[in-house]
Amino acid sequence: MEAFKILGIVDLTDDEPQGGRPQRKIILKNNFQWFLSEQCKELMKSNTMSNSVGKDDDLKTSPSKSDTVPLGQSPCYTCGSTKFWKTKDGSINCASCHPPTSENEVMDWIEI
């Protein structure tokens, strides 16, 4: 939350303590309200690959496991990479934004 405040994206306020714990409220600044709009949500739905997190259901699988391609997806919306990797639990990650820490984490590499 502090990082968003430093970047000027939000205001932070102290709220009444609840259960003995101090509470903070994060309020998106007016300039960024569009990110809460239906238009933004629709764009994010159509433009994101389960990019950091997706499951096998989001994939079209051809006979070979290495030919797995995300359905109707484009390159990573953050960096533009077309290379992804799949974890053993089925999550899909951008290889540039979220590289694996070891090859043991990678179940499959996906190139779109």
Q: Tens of pLDDT along 76-109?
A: 878 888 898 888 888 888 899 889 999 898 999 9
| pLDDT at residue 18 greater than cutoff 60 | yes
Average pLDDT, the chain: 74
Q: 23 with 16: CB under 8 angstroms?
A: yes
Residue 14, amino acid: D
pLDDT given at position 106: 92
Q: For residues 100 and 61, which has the higher predicted lDDT (pLDDT)?
A: 100
Q: 43 with 77: CB under 8 angstroms?
A: no
Numbers of helices and strands, H then E, in the chain: 2, 7
pLDDT given at position 29: 87
What pTM, to 2 d.p., does this model score?
A: 0.38
* Cα gap 9→30, rounded to integer Å: 9
Q: What is the arithmetic mean of pLDDT over 47-60?
A: 48
| pLDDT at residue 36 greater than cutoff 80 | yes
| pLDDT at residue 60 greater than cutoff 60 | no
* Cα gap 49→55, rounded to integer Å: 11
Instruction: Give the position of tokens 């994010």.
Output: 44
Q: 66 with 108: CB under 8 angstroms?
A: yes
Q: Is 4 exposed, middle or buried (CB count within 10 Å of its CB: 0-12, 13-18, 19+)?
A: middle
